[in-house]
Amino acid sequence: MIIAWLPKAIANRDELIDYIAEENPRAAIEHDDRIEAQVNHLAAHPEIGHAGRKKGTRELVIARTNFVVIYRVRPTAKRVEIIRVLHTSQAWPA
């Protein structure tokens, strides 16, 4: 499957990483690398996240961070769509 980052997810990720980078650029790079690496596993194993709180979604907790990636699997399109990247303190769904 291919990984498709939706615009809102890209914006979420950028905002979170930019916020971290203000205080610690190295930590921001490490967190971004963790997100990328763990999301890339979804291509081969799209069910590794748990069932999402919103119907039709799944949630992948990013290890050693406070981030959760919200995604949906589109089997007929052979793609995993990354919907949002949230800090665990953020409400989801809104």
Instruction: Round to whole Å and give the CA distance between 80 and 38.
Output: 13
Query: Does residue 73 have a pLDDT over 90?
Result: yes
Q: Which domains does the chain have, with CATH numbers?
A: 2-87 (3.30.2310.20)
| Secondary structure of the chain in HEC code, one letter for each residue | CEEEECHHHHHHHHHHHHHHHHHCHHHHHHHHHHHHHHHHHHHCCCCCCEECCCCCCEEEEECCCCEEEEEEEEHHHCEEEEEEEEECCCCCCC
Number of neighbouring beta carbons within 10 Å of residue 3: 16
Tokens of 32: 């971004």
- d(C-alpha 76, C-alpha 67), whole Å: 28
Of the listed ranges 18-27, 73-82, 83-92, the least confidently predicted one is 83-92
Q: What is the pLDDT of residue 94?
A: 67
- Mean pLDDT over residues 34-56, rounded? 96
Mean pLDDT of 15-26: 97
Average pLDDT, the chain: 95
